[in-house]
Amino acid sequence: MKRFDMTMKDGKILSVCLWEPQGEPRGIVQISHGMAEHIMRYDHIANYLSEHGFVVIGDDHRAHGETDKDTLGFAEGNIFDLTLSDMAEITEYAKKEYRGLKVVLFGHSYGSFLTQAYIEKHEDLIDGAIIGGSAKMTGIVTAFGRMVANIGYAFKGGRAKGEFIKKASFDSYEKKLKDGSFISSIPAETERYLADKYCAFTCSYGFYKYMFKAFTWMYKKENLSNIDKDKPLLLISGDQDPVGEYTKSVEALYNTYVGIGLKNVTKKYYKNVRHEYLNDVSREEAFADILAFVEKVCG
């Protein structure tokens, strides 16, 4: 693996990681990480895919990791839309560096919301997508989150930590999980996440404001209609993941895609698995499923 800086069109410098296979590459996988974590938490799946011949690339998104290590949870501007643009620039970079190869975008959690938006805005740049640990972000809870984010932004400013939103989210996630961890059923994995200096921080009201704003346009018919009807999509989630409402909201997303006429959408739920299927008892199964999908798309 090698890490390098990449300057975006607006001058923002991102920290990017690249995993290259030995020998001729078979395709490209771009990873979009979750909220309050960083790209190196995907080192295990990236190494696995590179060992099977795939180039893997991903950045520490704005407000995260090495990219914004001094202001974790905050970055200037419309963080969601700018991150979406960053991802497209990284895809274009990878396609130029490894010409002729197909690209699969894999997004988890926050990264899966970015991926949902990406296949509406930049679907021509990729050949397939994996949407993991996700949900369809509509309804009363999402509307409440947007309201709180906007109020916090207006009265406390974009840099202020969105403690209320974080507490409300985590409290709701852990209602059923009495041991206090929605991350993984394996205690050591949760401890590893909490001990990571680039994880578990509180995102700013600015971060939340623009994320919730994106949810207001992502599910409009005119935007969903931009998705290629034949684009291969894989939805994966733990069946005990509260983010996806224990599959209910993942099903809603799946049904939305099928309902607009997408012809190549599949889903997989991992039994007794929580939010991080890559760091739970499903790890080997999830690795194999991701590889199989990538191989199918890239040929």
What's 45's domain CATH number? 3.40.50.1820
DSSP state of 42: G
C-alpha 96/C-alpha 13 separation (Å) is 19
- At 44-74, the pLDDT tens digits run 999 999 999 999 999 999 999 999 999 999 9
- 39 closest CA partner among 19, 16, 55: 16
Q: What percent of the chain has pLDDT over 70?
A: 99
Tokens of 61: 């998104």
Sole residue written with tokens 């949870």: 73
Instruction: Assess whether pLDDT exceeds 90 at residue 178.
Output: no
Dihedral angle of Cα 135, 203, 35, 94, to the nearest 10 degrees: 120
Tell me, what's the pLDDT at 180? 65
For residue 147, being part of any structural domain is answered with no
For residue 71, being part of any structural domain is answered with yes
For residue 201, being part of any structural domain is answered with no
DSSP state of 276: -
pTM of the model: 0.97
* C-beta separation of 52 from 25 below 8 A: no
| Residue ranges making up the domain that contains 283 | 2-138+218-298
Q: How confident is the model at residue 213 (pLDDT cuts 50, 70, 90)?
A: very high
Tell me, what's the pLDDT at 179? 65
* H helix or E strand, kind and range, residue 81: helix 79-97
Mean local confidence (pLDDT), 127-134: 99
